[in-house]
Structure 1
């Protein structure tokens, strides 16, 4: 088994507090926790934002394929850092991928987000598909923040 990792750094035209809410408010998360052409039904998003708390959501693709996912919060430092596991339901936390999101304020009501994912099991899913999916989700996030 080979595990991979990657980092995506992106700037947003929104204050850090808005990015924090986008990661932690179920109603906002439902609008962007998915790649293009996929939806996340708002009623599927549950967030218990505390260390040891869990989150879950469902992605539905255009053909009706259903992709439930979720994980456990490992670090919660509002408004600057979230660390959590990311896996299929029922996967052990120890076997899950881990995501770290760091939010840094920039001048002019802007924010830099550094997203780091580690533990991609290439025997199960390709690093490229996971990286592309998250990059598309961040495109969705950018659209949500522009509308806010």
Structure 2
């Protein structure tokens, strides 16, 4: 991690890695926690494989949904690590996303209390990192991580 370019967040989720992984890779589960409440999320694409698309929409009231993220998975190591970027769209075309281009690495580790969950969001330059921090990285990604934990800690894997 480069502190001049990256932002990070770590949590322990009191649930097995398989449950946390499922919440990240199942579109129905993902939609329940991906955006900070009270926003609503709709998942248009969640193809968890290298080169797969991740397209979400958001709504304030559950009525009209507007674009939120159009990204591409770069690395998928089952139950270990996900890397996605919004610098490539879901069709793997270069893009200039607003408000900042980023690459996010999510890791899922073993922990005595469940899952060691870590997010590192990489930026291309210090200005983008600062902008993302000013926009509320800690609050936004932190509240979403808390929502993920709430879903995973109360969830069971489908049979």
TM-score category (smaller protein) = 0.7 to 0.9
Question: CA, structure 1 residues 89+68, in 2 after alignment: closer, same or farther (shift >3 Å)?
Answer: farther
- 2:103 corresponds to 1:104: no
Q: Alignment length, in residue pairs?
A: 143
Question: CA, structure 1 residues 83+17, in 2 after alignment: closer, same or farther (shift >3 Å)?
Answer: same
**Structure 2 unaligned blocks of 5 or more:** none
Correspondence for 1:74: 74
Structure 1 Cα separation of the partners of residues 147 and 31 of structure 2: 10
Structure 1 Cα separation of the partners of residues 52 and 118 of structure 2: 22
Could you give the per-residue CA deviations for residues 56-103 of structure 1, whole angstroms, max 9, x where no partner exists? 111223596734213111111001011110369688258731000111
Alignment of structure 1 residues 130-145 onto 2, 5 Å? 130-145=137-152
Q: State the TM-score, normalized to the length of structure 2.
A: 0.76
| RMSD of aligned residue pairs (Cα, Å) | 3.0
Could you give the per-residue CA deviations for residues 34-69 of structure 1, whole angstroms, max 9, x where no partner exists? 01221113xx34211211111111122359673421
- Alpha-carbon deviation of 1:18? 0.8
Q: State the TM-score, normalized to the length of structure 1.
A: 0.81
Answer 1 or 2: which has greater strand percent.
1
Correspondence for 1:22: 23
